[in-house]
Amino acid sequence: MPPQVASSALDFVDAIEHNTSKEDVIRLFTKELRLRGFDSFGSAEIPSAARPFAPCLYVSTMPEGWVERYVEMEYVQSDPMARLATMTSTPFRWTEATNAISLDPNEETVMNEICEFGVNEGLVVPIHAHRGYCGAVTFAGGTTDLDPRQLNELYMMSMFAHNRLRALHIADVANDSEPQVQLTPRECECLHWAANGKSDWAISQILKISEHTVHEHVERAKKKYNVSTRVQAIVLAILQGQVRP
């Protein structure tokens, strides 16, 4: 890799590592991508049954009309690029993916409609992390003919940019949520295991307390957060850092 390119990538990582502005991260990332022949990008978490409580990141500089349609129609549920990103950790081009997998009618609709907005080719960098987390960074509007070194550089920048945007997104959601409340250690434990899909009975066996007591701890946490469901209580507890999923 040419030294000046490697330096640019590392400078980018340094610039966003402690940046507290989502807009600045997007601006800096866009600048680096344009130097590499791309006009726009999207960075998103891919929802899954394994992560029902995670606030989803979705950032995009692609054509505004396409972004509005993608969100309105919930196309993430039928986006073949999102589906393939959950199945591999290797970057791939849209044309390679559509030639390698069979698309159902809904997936064909997504790919046909994005072409209507002038985006005909793209590159996807899957992002995988602990506890089943999966996201993707998609690049469009430019060349996807990159050599292995250029691709590795783009992969590194994508991971850092996505993770920084995700951290800032979670912080924004937490700041917009209910005021901080103080849970007891037992309430935190019960919500932790509930967040991992355990029933009241299963939690009672883990914590060596009665099922009724587990239920009471969860109910008290709901009352403190002033919410009607345990899912809402779990989300707020996670966002405010009182419970780790």
* Burial status of residue 44 (CB atoms within 10 A of its CB: 0-12, 13-18, 19 or more): buried
Average pLDDT of the chain?
A: 86
Q: What class, spelled out in words, does domain 185-239 have in CATH? A: mainly alpha
With a cut of 50, list the residues of the chain below it in pLDDT: 1-4, 6
At 21 the pLDDT is: 92
At 182 the pLDDT is: 86
At 4 the pLDDT is: 45
At 2 the pLDDT is: 41
In this predicted model, what pLDDT tens digit does every residue of 126-147 receive, in sequence order? 999 877 889 999 999 766 678 8
Q: Where in the chain is the domain with CATH 3.30.450.80?
A: 3-176
In this predicted model, what pLDDT tens digit does every residue of 51-100 receive, in sequence order? 555 567 789 999 999 999 988 888 888 999 999 999 999 999 998 888 88
At CB < 8 A and 24+ separation, what contacts does 194-201 make? 194/218, 194/230, 194/234, 195/53, 195/234, 195/237, 195/238, 195/243, 195/245, 196/245
| pTM, two decimal places | 0.70
Q: Where in the chain is the domain with CATH 1.10.10.10?
A: 185-239
At 41 the pLDDT is: 95
Fold annotation for 3-176? Beta-Lactamase (3.30.450)
At 230 the pLDDT is: 87
The string of DSSP letters for 114-183 reads: HHHTT---EEEEEEE-GGG-EEEEEEESS-----HHHHHHHHHHHHHHHHHHHHHHHHHHHHHSSPP---
At 174 the pLDDT is: 65
